[in-house]
Amino acid sequence: MSTRSFRELPLSPAIQATLQQLDYHEMTPIQAASLPLALAGRDLIARAKTGSGKTAAFALPLLTLLNPRWFAVQGLVLCPTRELAEQVTKEIRRLARGHDNIKVVTLCGGVPAGPQRASLEHGAHIVVGTPGRIMDHLERGALKLDGLAMLVLDEADRMLDMGFIDDIDYVVSHCPTRRQTLLFSATYPDGIARIAREFQREPEMVTIEETH
């Protein structure tokens, strides 16, 4: 079936070429369900299991939305762990390689903050990191989110399990209210419904059930 082809999406020729090079020919089910809505600017609650291609489901709309000529943080991705933040950064960089100079900075705990501040000073389009360290950089004024167009909560259920809700609240309070907010989660506990109500605007719910 060709209905899951990336070709039908409003993506730039540069991104289409990168997807071809990466052998991304068909969208995964969560991508097919999320991408048309996210590219149309909708807020989303997207539920699908691990390994289903959720990173591209938010990275492609983010790369489409941002202006590479403007050196401001336009996308912020919150992840539960450093390992996941590094994986997300890697995937965004792969998908961004057809663009000139999209800078992605990873901000996680467990490593010195000084070099992270230096990276931010040089300018970043996208920040990926864990809530606590991002909060630290906001508190110190090293990170500014006034130009943010898209906020992504990746593995939101895990972030809640790990007790990051206060840090997330703090970070979101520093984001412009006019923004697109995408929430990705494997499960949908009450806490997720609550943050969706608080942080999102008329979110569309997209669920890919596990098939056994």
Interface residues toward ligand ADP, by CB under 6 A: 24, 26-28, 31, 50-56, 91
Residue with the two structure tokens 């999209």: 102
Q: Out of Mg ion, ligand ADP, none, which partner does residue 56 contact, by CB within 5 to 8 A per kind?
A: ligand ADP
For 206, the enclosing helix (H) or strand (E) is strand 204-207
In degrees rounded to 5, what are phi and psi of residue 26?
-110, 145
- Whole-number minimum distance, CB 123 to ligand ADP, in Å? 26
Q: And the tokens for 106?
A: 């990873």
Comparison of 27 and 127: residue with beta carbon closer to ligand ADP = 27
Whether 61 and 86 have beta carbons less than 8 Å apart is answered as no
Among candidate residues 167, 164, 152, 160, the one with its CA nearest the CA of residue 194 = 160
Does 47 interact with Mg ion (rule: CB under 5 A)?
no
Q: Out of Mg ion, ligand ADP, none, which partner does residue 28 contact, by CB within 5 to 8 A per kind?
A: ligand ADP
- Whole-number minimum distance, CB 54 to Mg ion, in Å? 5
Residue with the two structure tokens 């996308």: 75
Count the neighbouring beta carbons within 10 Å of the beta carbon of residue 105.
19
C-alpha–C-alpha distance, residues 52 and 163, integer Å: 25
Whether 192 and 156 have beta carbons less than 8 Å apart is answered as yes
- Whole-number minimum distance, CB 21 to ligand ADP, in Å? 12
Q: Out of Mg ion, ligand ADP, none, which partner does residue 53 contact, by CB within 5 to 8 A per kind?
A: ligand ADP
| Alpha carbon separation from 46 to 26, 146, 169, 179 (Å, rounded) | 19, 26, 20, 17
- Whole-number minimum distance, CB 121 to ligand ADP, in Å? 30
Q: Out of ligand ADP, Mg ion, none, which partner does residue 179 contact, by CB within 5 to 8 A per kind?
A: none
Does 54 interact with Mg ion (rule: CB under 5 A)?
yes
Q: Out of Mg ion, ligand ADP, none, which partner does residue 58 contact, by CB within 5 to 8 A per kind?
A: none
Q: Out of ligand ADP, Mg ion, none, which partner does residue 52 contact, by CB within 5 to 8 A per kind?
A: ligand ADP
> Which range in 8-16, 51-59, 89-97, 144-152 contacts Mg ion by CB under 5 A?
51-59
Whether 69 and 114 have beta carbons less than 8 Å apart is answered as no
Residue numbers at the binding site for Mg ion (CB under 5 A): 54
